[in-house]
Structure 1
Amino acid sequence: MSSAQTAPDSAETPLSIAVIGAGPRGAGVLERLAANLGTEWPTDRSLLLHFIDPFPAGPGRIWRFDQSPLLKLNSMAADVTMYTDETSVIDGPVRPGPSLIDWVDQVRAGTIELAPVDAALAAEIAVLTGSSFPTRRLQSLYLDWFFRTAVDDLADSVTVQVHPARAARVDDLPGGDQLVLLDDGSSIVAHLVLFSLGHNGSQPAPEHSALAGFADRNELVYLPPTFTADANLSAITPGEKVIVRGFGLAAVDLTVLLTEGRGGRFDRDDTGRLVYLPSGSEPRLFLGSRRGVPYRSKISSTLVGDRPVPRFFTTAAAARLENESESLDFTAQVWPLIAQESLWGYYRELFTGHPERVSLPWAEFADRFAAIDPRALPIAAGSHVSADARRSSHPLVDFGADAPDIELDITRFRALVAEAVPDPVDRLFLPEFDRPLHGLRFGSAEELQQALRQHIRADLDVRTLPEHSATLGLFVALLTSLFTLSDIIDSPKWSARSRVRDIHGWWLGYFSFIASGPPGHRLEELIALSEAGVVEFLGGDLWVTADETTGLFRAGSANVDRVVTAAALVDARLPDTSVSRSDNELLRALIASGGGLEHVVADGDYVGSTGRLLVRQQDTRVVDAGGGLHERRFAIGPYTNSPFVGAFSRPRTNAISFRENDKVARALLRALAALNAPARVDA
């Protein structure tokens, strides 16, 4: 607001905020607004909060109740909360509340009342435990309750209005107020706007447009990247061959909907082995990806060794890097420390929790491990993996004159692990863990199927059996490193290439592969589907072409001499983030009008875009096309350059999302307070 603008009449006009997007992130900001009333805003001052979303307030689009009851969270019920707790480092008040499993316990006890639910949900609520993976429909009920509870916690002077519509455009009015135009023809005038749009799709990239055109010309089926629950799968017919490009959560959900979702069912034979009983309505799915293996399954073991404490990539270490570096490079400077911390977390749990599985004392292993140059650890692999394969997973680093010493430390690390860890199952080398199929060749497609099934079984063992809790040590260290990285993520010192290629590129995919995989039972089901012939694995370094000669899609991999042709192709992954190509009309209009700016970074001869909306980190104010800050617009969520790790998180982890929610809520209230101050007039 310029100094010549007048403040609203505080005696007559309630100040107002329009929150565009009422899903979990918008609901989380609402809870933080309620918590900060009285400190950043007088509780007797009228305040009007508009929540705008065509989907139900609380769940939003992704977690809406109206989706398949087969779709689940990839988190256990004990690991999901919408509430701050004693670990939350925030400026606002901590207001604890129930995690998802605590909420279910209270529903069962009758202290929280729900409207009548269908038989499937009633059965789920009756047996849910903290280690269960809840359905998205149950999570929808939790989020609905959370939103309504947050509304109830507001002071009497605060009014909430929910608008079940889509915001199409936001315009500046004379004096600075914001005009929000809705797709139902109505409009809202607010003093401030918070864009809280959650995950968005994108308009087709050139590759996807070309594949869609090929499919149209040849009467084929092509589904571009999208959210699986929103995809129209009706064109995929029973028995049809379908090439599926992607092996993450989207591919798992797709597989569920096209198998069990079409009437198939799982059962156990007399030996306890899971088997799939087809309905006959399933297609034949051919799955492949760059790695060629599914995301690592969720971990169900518990830590039994020393309490996890960061050693190498600590808050102090991150701050020292940021303070002492003229330019920050993720791959060269930060990734080695994260790799060191991850391996430290794994081996500490192995040695201190399972001393019977190792042949050296932890103190000796720890001293020798700490002496290894961390730059060697991301590329240190088992001796059978070539140097080229070691370096294939991540961008190359030129070690220059240090290269011989790095190679020596790689050898030292391999020798240390071989000496100290007798069973190869317990040995962790990051390149093989990330790309287990890289460089492998199989004599036939059936050999590849057998190898993949064995890989999945082994992954399930090490991530579920108590004696393999070291994998949880790896996860905890990786998660802690992610939180530590958030402390310097907004540093202006990051190189442009590193910000685009690393931070918003391979790093997020790497983290998701290890830490955000499906529930273990989904991978057991995948094995059963493979054995039933409904699913076949294509392998890694997958390639897909549109063959104009045959009018079909073709696919193959680097692991086996086999080419599959099909009349259907699904790109089973989430759309890339690009606010300028978003399928959200509001975001495209914001960029086109100059009211917002896609985050483009450059240094030297490199220019790249993160695809995200540029905001000022300290308060998430939107940056306009001229580089200025919009005084009335704020934005939060995964489509912005602000830190983001889920709208809800694990209890007692000082979750980033809750820190961000508190930050933006306080910034909004302070901005309103400034508007409510007596007007200043230029001399």
Structure 2
Amino acid sequence: MTDLRVAMVGGGPRGTALVQQLTGRLRGNQEDLVRVHVVEPGEPGAGQVWATSQPTELLMNSPSGPTDLLVSEGSAAVPDFAGWLAGRTFDGDEFCPGFTPRRTVGRYLREVFDRLSRANPAVRVVVHNSTAVRLRDADNVGDRQLLELADGTELHVDAVVLAQGHASAGISPTEQRWAAAAERHGWNYQPSGMTTADRAAALPAGRPIALRGFGLAAIDLLTLLTKGRGGRFAVDSGRSLRYLPSGDEPTIWIGSRRGLPHRAKPPPGRPVSARQTPWFLTQEAFDPAKYACYDFRSDVWPLVRAEVSAAYRHHVRAMGSWSRRLALPHATFRRADGWWEGYLPDSAPAVDVRRAVLRDLAQCQLPDYPARLAARSAFVRATEAVIALHHGGWLSRRSVERDVAGWFEPMSSALTSGPPRGRLQQLVALADAGVVRFLGGAMAARSSTSGLRVWGMASSGPTAVDALVEARLASPDLAHTRDRLICELLSSGSAIGVTDGLSNPGDAHRPITAIAVDHRQRLLSRGGRAHPRRWAVGPLVRRLPPSAMAGAASRPELSVPAPRQVDTVVVDQLVGLLERGLSRTPGAADAFASTAIRSAS
């Protein structure tokens, strides 16, 4: 009998999906025994994002269930989310149908994890409610691994998989300066981070506060500060929402660089008939001779805009007689741009925020709305292609910093990762009730001995507030992460940090946005060696493809592997270890040219 011990650092949805695949692959093989040590400080299955203790007001960001990681073929069966949800009662939001509370999803994920833990006698799952702090080789050849936990536990294992999800972010140097100013001048400051009940509870009722940021984190915080404090929404005679305050709300000033909230998600159940094959953003559009030299703004962005316009026009033609009203190419292109009006890089900062939100909400009533959805789908596919080009090393470093990280990624998030429509309807009602006040675009803040003042394009002048909240997720910078294991791996050279994002204004260092793995998801160490017994998956990981490592390429990949495909790559190698009887992994000393690693990291 072969005994394989695996340490899974992270027991949220990604770790659960890996356990599911491993459990299913070994079904019926009772001669081998696999022990999976799951290291998770939160709730197994749910992790921290889907914690079952969070307020019911916090909803999923998608109307679909969390089934994109869980698979049915070749893995242990788990209950379908929709079937599991049917017949269960939960406190959702009547104005956001189809969007389930995150804590309800967390209960589903916990149940899935519990079932998987008992699904296969050949796989024993052991949960450690702690965090990993150090990883090192336990022998001279690197086949045995020693993982140390914060509670003093030492795990001697054959393989380690990092699946932490989003790494715990520390406070950036810019935020440290704001925090020091707040302490010096006597006002409240909250750095960027996940929206939690504790963050909302720290903000006083009846006092003016400012939120800097207008994405999902800001919308969630608005919900906790209003509906979460006893306020109610009601439908008036004109079928619009009206907010009934509880009296425990603060006065909330909100603004951002652009000044607009993220674009609302399409209503659940609206079918989108969109072409899957690109017209312009194809492999043939990229010349291997220009590898690593493409400029996003001049070479790629025109292709993205052409894809969006072509998708819109294609769908308009399919709509029949109505399309004759849009026969002129110029008019068609202008309408194709309509769904992202105000979000393009050359758009002026918002002044009339309420009007812009109402215009966004009214899109679904327009006769060309199906064509706009087709344009949105084309943009989502184009964004995936841009990410693949970026990760594959086709874009110049300067263009990545200035354009991709500088404006395209924030714009893409604002256009495709917005809140439910009901949340924007509630935002308008909050503004009409005087609870929320818009600062507009180009938001700025200044601290002095007289206190804190904020202003923006939509404000009449500086306004005094008692608190400033960075209402956004922390920028990924593993140089300041609170994840002790990641810090130890980077400082020891056991992991390579990828630095391709813009630094914050005034910060001297370049943020480390990810750790590098090879095309088989093996962790890369200093010098480019792929460790034979260490893997990493998830958002803190950047896969460096062979083309990037070799410094040359034939044609670019224009799609990003789905999470379940990445997980399968890792599980295949774990099963291979078991089948080989844990002999030394062939090619353990895989290395790549150090110049290629420098160019990709």
Q: TM-score, normalised by structure 2?
A: 0.84
Q: Matches of 1:171 and 1:79 in 2, distance apart?
A: 34
CA drift of 1:350 comes to 3.5
What letter matches 1:19 in structure 2? M
Please name the residue that 2:417 is paired with.
516
* Contact 1:417 1:427 (8 Å CA) reproduced: no
Q: Secondary structure at the match of 2:516?
A: coil
- Distance, in Å, in 2 between the alignment partners of 1:599 and 1:527 is 41
Structure 2 match to 1:289:
256
Q: Contact 2:259–2:443 (CA<8 Å) still a contact in 1? A: yes
- Is structure 2 residue 89 aligned with structure 1 residue 100? no
Alpha-carbon distance, 1:510 to partner: 1.8
In 1, the alpha carbon distance for the partners of 2:170 and 2:272 equals 48
Report the equivalent of 1:434. Answer: 343
User: Matched residues in 2 for 1:466 and 1:84: separation?
Assistant: 38
What amino acid does structure 2 have at the position aligned with 1:196? A
C-alpha contact (below 8 Å) 1:76/1:130 kept by paired residues? no
Which of residues 549, 554, 564 is equivalent to 2:449? Answer: 549
Instruction: State the distance in 2 between where 1:284 and 1:236 align.
Output: 10
Q: Secondary structure at the match of 2:372?
A: helix
1:78-109 Cα shifts (integer Å, max 9, x gaps): 68543347xxxxxx94888665324323xx3x
Report if the CA contact (8 A) 2:438-2:459 is conserved.
no
Corresponding residue number in structure 2 for 1:164: 129
User: Structure 1 residue 21: deviation in Å?
Assistant: 0.4
Residue identity matched to 2:445: V
Q: Partner amino acid for 1:53?
A: E
Confirm or deny that 1:417 pairs with 2:417.
no
- Aligned residue type for 1:267: A
The correspondence for 2:574, drawn from 668, 673, 679, is 668
- Per the TM alignment, residue 223 of structure 1 is displaced from its structure 2 partner at its CA by 0.3
User: Does residue 634 of the first structure (1) align with residue 535 of the second (2)?
Assistant: yes
Deviates more, 1:189-198 or 1:73-82: 73-82
Structure 2 unmatched runs, 5+: 502-507, 545-558, 587-601
Q: Verify the 8 A CA contact 1:293 1:540 in the aligned structure 2.
A: yes
For 2:458 and 2:238, locate their aligned partners in 1 and report how far apart those are by CA, in whole Å.
32
Q: What's the counterpart of residue 21 of structure 1?
A: 10
Tell me which of 436, 456, 459 is aligned to 2:357: 456
Contact 2:78 2:112 (8 Å CA) reproduced: no
SS at match of 1:590: helix
After TM superposition, the structure 1 = structure 2 runs for residues 207-286 of structure 1, keeping only pairs within 5 Å, are: 207-229=174-196, 231-286=198-253
Residues 161-193 of structure 1 deviation map (CA, whole Å, 9 limit, x = unaligned): 111111122222124322222222222111111
Which is further off, 429-438 or 325-334? 429-438
1:251 to partner: Cα distance = 0.2
Find the partner of 2:481 among 577, 582, 597.
582
- Distance in 2, matches of 1:99 and 1:234, equals 35
**Equivalent-residue separation in structure 2 for 1:535 and 1:579 (angstroms):** 34
Indicate the residue corresponding to 2:548 in structure 1. Answer: none
2: CA distance, partners of 1:322 / 1:180: 45
Task: Work out the CA distance in 2 between the residues paired with 1:470 and 1:511.
Answer: 19
1:328-357 Cα offsets, whole Å, 9 max, x none, are 333333332222212222333334236426
CA distance in 2, matches of 1:485, 1:302: 28
Partner of residue 83, structure 1: 70
The change in CA–CA distance for 1:80 and 1:481 in structure 2 (over 3 A counts) is: farther
CA 1:268/1:128 → structure 2, altered by over 3 Å: closer, same or farther? closer
Paired AA for residue 136 in structure 2 = D
Aligned to 2:471: 572
Are the aligned partners of 1:305 and 1:353 in contact in 2 as well (CA < 8 Å)? no
Is 1:16–1:50's contact at 8 Å kept on the other side of the alignment? yes
**Larger relative contact order (C-alpha < 8 A, sep ≥ 6)?**
1
In the alignment, what sits opposite 1:401?
none
Query: Contact (CA 8 Å) 1:621, 1:634: kept in 2 or not?
Result: yes
Letter of the 1:163 counterpart = H
Q: 1:465 to 1:153 in 2, by over 3 A?
A: farther
Q: Secondary structure at the match of 1:611?
A: coil
1:44 lines up with 2:70 in the alignment: no
Q: How big is the shift at 1:299?
A: 0.3
Give the alignment's Cα RMSD to 1 decimal. 3.4
In the alignment, is the contact (CA less than 8 A) between 1:301 and 1:464 conserved in 2?
no
The amino acid that maps onto 2:313 is Y
**Cα offset, 1:27, TM superposition:** 1.2
Which residue of 1 is the match for residue 22 of structure 2?
33
Residues 122-521 of structure 1 aligned to structure 2 (within 5 Å): 122-124=89-91, 132-154=98-120, 156-175=121-140, 176=142, 177-229=144-196, 231-300=198-267, 307-313=274-280, 317-318=282-283, 321=286, 323=288, 325-327=290-292, 328-353=294-319, 355-356=321-322, 358-360=324-326, 416-418=329-331, 420=332, 426=335, 428-429=337-338, 432-435=341-344, 438-439=347-348, 448=351, 451-463=352-364, 468-485=369-386, 487-521=388-422
Distance change in 2, residues 1:580/1:25 (3 Å): same
Greater Cα shift, 340-349 or 513-522? 340-349
Give the unaligned 5+ runs of structure 1.
1-10, 86-91, 109-120, 366-415, 442-447, 644-652
Change (3 A) 1:350 1:96: farther
- Return closer, same or farther for 1:601/1:56 CA change in 2, 3 Å cut-off: closer
SS in 2 for 1:31: helix
CA–CA distance in structure 1, aligned partners of residues 305 and 85 of structure 2:
38
Q: Which residue of 2 aligns with 1:8?
A: none
What is the letter of the counterpart of residue 663 of structure 1? V
Aligned equivalents of 2:360, 2:320: Cα separation in 1: 19
Distance across 2 between alignment mates of 1:463 and 1:617: 43
Which amino acid counterpart does residue 55 of structure 1 have in structure 2? Answer: G
CA distance in 2, matches of 1:669, 1:610: 36
Q: Which amino acid aligns with 1:232?
A: R
2 CA distance for matches of 1:94 and 1:485?
32
- Which of 593, 597, 619 aligns to 2:496? It is 597
Aligned pairs for 1:50-61 (under 5 A) are 50-61=37-48
**C-alpha distance in structure 2 between counterparts of 1:486 and 1:670, whole Å:** 31
Query: 1:381: which partner in 2?
Result: none
- The answer to whether the 8 A contact 2:272-2:373 is kept is no
Which whole-Å CA distance do the structure 2 matches of 1:301 and 1:157 have between them?
A: 41
Q: CA offsets, 1:595-617, max 9 Å, x none? A: 22211469xxxx98562333234
Q: CA deviation at 1:253?
A: 0.7
Counterpart CA distance in 2 for 1:184 and 1:678 is: 31
By how many angstroms is 1:675 displaced?
6.3
What letter is aligned with 1:318?
Answer: Q
Number of equivalent positions: 563
Structure 2: distance between partners of 1:345 and 1:642: 30
State, as a whole percentage, how many aligned pairs show the same letter. Answer: 28
| Cross-structure match for 1:656 | 562
Report if aligned partners of 2:5, 2:159 keep a CA contact under 8 Å in 1. Answer: yes
